[in-house]
Amino acid sequence: MKNKIAIIIGSISDKKTIEGCLDILEQFELDFTLNIVSAHRTPELLFDFAKTAVDKYDIIIAAAGGSAHLPGMVASLTTLPVIGVPVKSSNLNGVDSLLSIVQMPGGVPVATMAIGESGAKNAALFAIRILSLNNNNLKEKLKTYINKQTQTVIETEVY
């Protein structure tokens, strides 16, 4: 295992959505790259990226808005796990993105997260869970993260 994650976004405007994902991966000290790969504006780049990704990465996180073809197209061209993050759009609040990503035909799986920033954070944590299957150090960090999250909720006083 390379313990390396590729994060691709459809446009620079999607970076804001994915920032929580980047923060979590940094917190877990994981190696990742972030690149713009547009399914519609740079299709040859998408093909080249997807076909060579298996040599460099273990997991791909793909965030896209609107018609959101990026995660599905990448998944159709690689054997790596692809995690899709629907980006909230101005027209339909990301529902269009969600449906585009989640409605993949049988045989082309994309693990689809929630719309927006929560989905981006969960994409990072889901990738970490996958990688932790073969990495005990990462598994311990994940347990610590989960326990801290639980403790924060328990210690929160409500008046």
Quote the pLDDT of residue 157. Answer: 80
Task: Determine if residue 11 is labeled as part of a ligand binding site.
Answer: yes
The DSSP symbol for 66 reads T
Class of domain 4-155: alpha beta
pLDDT at residue 95 above 80?
yes
pTM equals 0.95
Q: Average pLDDT, stretch 99-110?
A: 95
Quote the pLDDT of residue 38. Answer: 93
pLDDT at residue 121 above 80?
yes
**Where does 10-87 show beta strands of DSSP type E?**
31-36, 59-64, 82-86
Quote the pLDDT of residue 4. Answer: 97
Quote the pLDDT of residue 159. Answer: 77
Listed in sequence order, the residues at least 6 apart from 18 whose beta carbon sits closer than 8 Å to its beta carbon are 7, 9, 34, 61, 63, 85, 120
The pLDDT confidence band at residue 98, using thresholds 50, 70 and 90, is very high
Half-sphere exposure of 87 (CA within 13 A, CB side): 27
pLDDT at residue 13 above 80?
yes
Q: Is 138 exposed, middle or buried (0-12, 13-18, 19+ CB in 10 A)?
A: buried
**Phi/psi of residue 115, each to 5°?**
-70, 135
pLDDT digits (tens, 9 = 90+) for 59-72: 999 999 988 999 99
Task: Determine if residue 14 is labeled as part of a ligand binding site.
Answer: yes
pLDDT at residue 16 above 90?
yes
